[in-house]
């Protein structure tokens, strides 16, 4: 057998292993997502975490910094890891071994810092919170490409939407119970014990998701892409964008989308301050947010597998604009339930199709590069968007912030709808491509 035949044989053997372990991998990855989102319901980045920070400081910039860190930490490191991840025949090693320390452990330390410092040393607690938040957010970004590529390897293209849809549905459905419990905890116990209990539950379920993820059966597959030096790889990235105009337009739409999300992290604080609501009311908003997220996950996953992730993202940016408009005109806090339900749907669709669509622009060998660009480039803007939002809110009020976010979401839809072609219509899915190799 010569070297030219080897990729074909390896591709055939790999495909056999993918099909043999498909059901198992589908189940354990659904459990991973379910436990993960259940855990986050006790420390939701868009509701409970900004509220916790508002107990420690009245700075709108620092409150907005929560969303900036969560978004940018996930996005920014990814492109830096692509060159390494592409050469790994098995991605799971990085996801599990490194991910425990970079993504899971910080939640434990965050909960500890609340119990020890928030009540008697709020400045120390604020520093501890942001250090662990940055640690976790950047840590998640470090393993993100490896995780995404692992999922793309073991789950065929026409099942990925349902995988994340079902996983996120179960997580958010369980999260409805979790958020109700979080609301009760926030109402029953005094600060900071209430937030400490919530973050402890987050740590518990996040660790459970790691256990489920560690059970993934990933067959090895060596990349046939020529090895490039780090400098050569850096010069290669602009070439990708120049050659693939469709993908470049997609990136432009994503930049507008993440800028349009700059108001989401302020909605809870806005509602609490405008109508003088209690912390437990914020917990109920979280429940509504998760309800919208749960329902949207089921529909978005099935819709994406049937019609493509591009359509799901178009719906997402339209709903994002709608949520901001409702927040501006809301005459009473009851209206905010609709806002949080719509935001939940936005987050569900954005996470699901924002992760999955870039996988379909490229070949198997190029997939990590495309995913890294699709996450890191918008992530540069995601890092500053909430800070810009905090500045706008400080200068012109929350209404001005929400209106600006509406306009940016509308621009995202225009670019995505008119300039981006559905990549699934132009490229083969991974399973079909591997069959061609065989």
Confidence of residue 60 (pLDDT cuts 50, 70, 90): confident
Q: What is this structure's pTM? A: 0.76
Confidence of residue 8 (pLDDT cuts 50, 70, 90): low
Q: What single-letter DSSP state applies at residue 191?
A: T
Sign of CA dihedral 55, 59, 389, 380: negative
User: For position 9, what pLDDT does the model report?
Assistant: 62
DSSP 3-state assignment of 387?
Answer: helix
**C-beta of residue 17 within 8 angstroms of C-beta of residue 89:** no
**What is the CB neighbour count within 10 angstroms for residue 120?**
9
CA distance 432 to 353: 21
Report the range of poorest mean pLDDT among 3-7, 94-98, 262-266: 3-7
In whole angstroms, what separates CA 282 from the centre of its chain?
A: 22
**C-beta of residue 251 within 8 angstroms of C-beta of residue 377:** yes
Most distant pair of Cα atoms in the chain: their distance: 74
CA distance 221 to 7: 9
308: closest CA among 427, 174, 226, 217? 427
pLDDT score of 272 more than 60:
yes
For residue 94, what are its two tokens?
Answer: 């990085």
Confidence of residue 6 (pLDDT cuts 50, 70, 90): very low
Domain 7-221+230-426 has CATH 3.40.50.620: no
User: For position 109, what pLDDT does the model report?
Assistant: 95
Helix axes 367-396 and 230-243, enclosed angle (nearest 10): 80
For residue 5, what are its two tokens?
Answer: 């035949």
Which is more confidently placed, 17 or 129?
Answer: 129
User: For position 136, what pLDDT does the model report?
Assistant: 93
Residues 119-148 have a mean pLDDT of 92
**What secondary structure does DSSP assign to 195-231, as a single string?**
HHHHHHHHHHHHHHHHHHHTT---------SPP--HH
209: closest CA among 359, 52, 71, 41? 41
pLDDT score of 434 more than 50:
no
User: For position 385, what pLDDT does the model report?
Assistant: 87
DSSP 3-state assignment of 46?
Answer: coil
Residues 126-140 have a mean pLDDT of 93
Helix H, strand E, coil C: the string for 267-296 is HHHHHHHHHCCCHHHHHHHHHHHHHHHHHH
For residue 74, what are its two tokens?
Answer: 């996930």
pLDDT score of 82 more than 50:
yes
Residues 164-179 have a mean pLDDT of 84
Sign of CA dihedral 179, 183, 188, 194: positive
pLDDT score of 430 more than 60:
no
List the end-to-end C-alpha distance of the chain, in Å, as a whole number.
14
The residue to which tokens 């293209």 are assigned: 157
Report the range of poorest mean pLDDT among 20-24, 206-210, 244-248, 297-301: 297-301
Q: What is the average pLDDT score of the chain? A: 86
User: For position 13, what pLDDT does the model report?
Assistant: 82
pLDDT score of 429 more than 50:
no
Sign of CA dihedral 44, 46, 51, 52: positive
Residue 357 sits at the vertex; the CA angle it makes with 351 and 363, to the nearest 5 degrees, is: 140
Report the range of poorest mean pLDDT among 182-186, 231-235, 338-342: 231-235
Which is more confidently placed, 288 or 255?
Answer: 255
User: For position 383, what pLDDT does the model report?
Assistant: 76
Report the range of poorest mean pLDDT among 41-45, 239-243, 346-350: 41-45
**C-beta of residue 233 within 8 angstroms of C-beta of residue 83:** yes
**C-beta of residue 305 within 8 angstroms of C-beta of residue 160:** yes
User: For position 426, what pLDDT does the model report?
Assistant: 56
CA distance 113 to 130: 11
69: closest CA among 115, 4, 136? 136
pLDDT score of 26 more than 90:
yes
Residues 50-54 have a mean pLDDT of 89
Which tens digit of pLDDT belongs to each residue from 282-320?
A: 778 877 887 888 889 889 988 998 899 999 999 999 999
**C-beta of residue 184 within 8 angstroms of C-beta of residue 280:** yes
For residue 316, what are its two tokens?
Answer: 């997402």
Residues 29-51 have a mean pLDDT of 87
Burial of 193 (0-12, 13-18, 19+ CB in 10 A): middle
User: For position 183, what pLDDT does the model report?
Assistant: 81
CA distance 423 to 120: 54
Which tens digit of pLDDT belongs to each residue from 375-421?
A: 888 888 887 888 899 899 989 999 999 999 999 999 999 999 999 99
User: For position 278, what pLDDT does the model report?
Assistant: 80
The upper half-sphere exposure of residue 140, i.e. CA atoms within 13 Å in the direction of its Cβ, equals 19
Domain borders along the chain are 7-221+230-426
Task: Please state the length of the chain.
Answer: 438
Confidence of residue 256 (pLDDT cuts 50, 70, 90): very high
For residue 249, what are its two tokens?
Answer: 């337009």
Ramachandran region, residue 381 (left: φ > 0; alpha: ψ -120 to 50; beta: rest): alpha
User: For position 16, what pLDDT does the model report?
Assistant: 87
Residues 331-350 have a mean pLDDT of 94
């Amino acid at each position: 057998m010569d070297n030219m035949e080897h990729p074909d044989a390896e591709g055939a053997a790999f495909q056999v292993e993918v099909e043999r372990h498909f059901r198992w991998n589908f189940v354990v990855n659904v459990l991973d997502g379910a436990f993960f989102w259940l855990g986050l319901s006790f420390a939701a980045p868009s509701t409970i975490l900004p509220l916790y920070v508002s107990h420690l400081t009245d700075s709108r910039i620092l409150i907005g910094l929560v969303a900036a860190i969560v978004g940018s930490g996930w996005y920014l490191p990814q492109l830096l890891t692509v060159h390494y991840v592409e050469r790994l025949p098995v991605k799971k090693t990085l996801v599990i071994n490194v991910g425990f320390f970079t993504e899971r452990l910080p939640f434990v330390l965050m909960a500890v810092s609340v119990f020890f410092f928030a009540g008697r040393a709020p400045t120390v607690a604020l520093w501890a919170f942001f250090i662990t938040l940055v640690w976790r957010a950047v840590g998640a970004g470090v393993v993100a490409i490896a995780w995404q590529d692992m999922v793309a390897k073991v789950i065929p293209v026409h099942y990925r939407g349902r995988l994340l849809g079902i996983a996120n549905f179960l997580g958010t459905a369980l999260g409805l119970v979790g958020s109700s419990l979080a609301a009760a905890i926030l109402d029953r116990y005094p600060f900071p014990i209430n937030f400490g209990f919530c973050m402890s539950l987050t740590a518990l379920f996040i660790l459970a998701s790691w256990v489920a993820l560690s059970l993934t059966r990933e067959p090895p597959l060596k990349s046939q892409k020529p090895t490039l030096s780090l400098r050569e790889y850096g010069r290669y990235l602009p070439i990708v964008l120049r050659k693939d105009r469709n993908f470049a337009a997609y990136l432009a739409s994503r930049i507008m989308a993440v800028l349009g999300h700059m108001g989401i992290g302020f909605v809870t604080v806005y509602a609490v301050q405008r109508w003088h609501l209690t912390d437990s009311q914020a917990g109920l908003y979280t429940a509504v947010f998760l309800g919208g997220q749960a329902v949207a996950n089921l529909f978005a996953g099935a819709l994406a597998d049937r019609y493509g992730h591009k359509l799901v993202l178009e719906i997402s940016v339209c709903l994002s604009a709608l949520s901001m408009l409702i927040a501006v005109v809301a005459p009473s806090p009851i209206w905010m339930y609709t806002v949080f339900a719509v935001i939940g749907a936005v987050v569900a669709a954005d996470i699901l199709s924002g992760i999955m669509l870039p996988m379909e622009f490229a070949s198997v060998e190029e997939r990590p590069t495309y995913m890294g660009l699709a996450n890191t480039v918008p992530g540069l803007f995601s890092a500053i968007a909430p800070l810009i939002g905090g500045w706008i809110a400080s200068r012109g009020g929350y209404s001005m912030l929400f209106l600006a976010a509406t306009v940016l979401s509308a621009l995202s839809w225009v670019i995505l709808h008119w300039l981006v072609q559905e990549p699934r219509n132009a490229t083969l899915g991974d399973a079909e491509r591997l069959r061609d190799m065989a």
